[in-house]
Amino acid sequence: MSEKEKMNQDGTEEKAKETKPAKAEKAKAKSDKDKKPGFFKRVGRFFRELKAELKKVAWPTRADTLKKTGIVIVCVIVVGIIVWIFDGIASSVIDALLSLFGQH
């Protein structure tokens, strides 16, 4: 069966009718779709969409921000203390091993 033929539900073949205006409309629609808007239109649209998206953001309150900042600071201090302790232990073990083998 050729590309322009199609099957009816009863099994008979029928020629597809494509008119030249339909082809011209498709070509015009495709060429319009392929065109990009100008640089400044795209930049303007970007900022309009950015503004719309930022309006949708659920911004935290000042109290919530301060609370979470405090939690982060405490966690950084705790992790720093743990790293400091492990560093001290590791350096003591290395010093002990070096003195044991006479390298220190």
Joined tokens for residue 65:
């921000």
Report the distance separating Cα 63 and Cα 68, nearest Å: 9
pLDDT at position 12 is 59
Give every CB contact of residue 8 below 8 A, 6+ residues apart in sequence.
14
Mean pLDDT of 65-85: 98
Joined tokens for residue 77:
């201090």
Give every CB contact of residue 37 below 8 A, 6+ residues apart in sequence.
45
- For the cut 90, the answer to whether the pLDDT of residue 26 exceeds it is no
Instruction: Grade residue 48 by pLDDT with cuts at 50, 70 and 90.
Output: very high
Give every CB contact of residue 66 below 8 A, 6+ residues apart in sequence.
none
More confident residue, 16 or 60: 60
15 strand-pairing partners: 5
CA 45 vs. chain centroid, Å, equals 19
- For the cut 70, the answer to whether the pLDDT of residue 19 exceeds it is no
- For the cut 80, the answer to whether the pLDDT of residue 49 exceeds it is yes
pLDDT at position 102 is 80
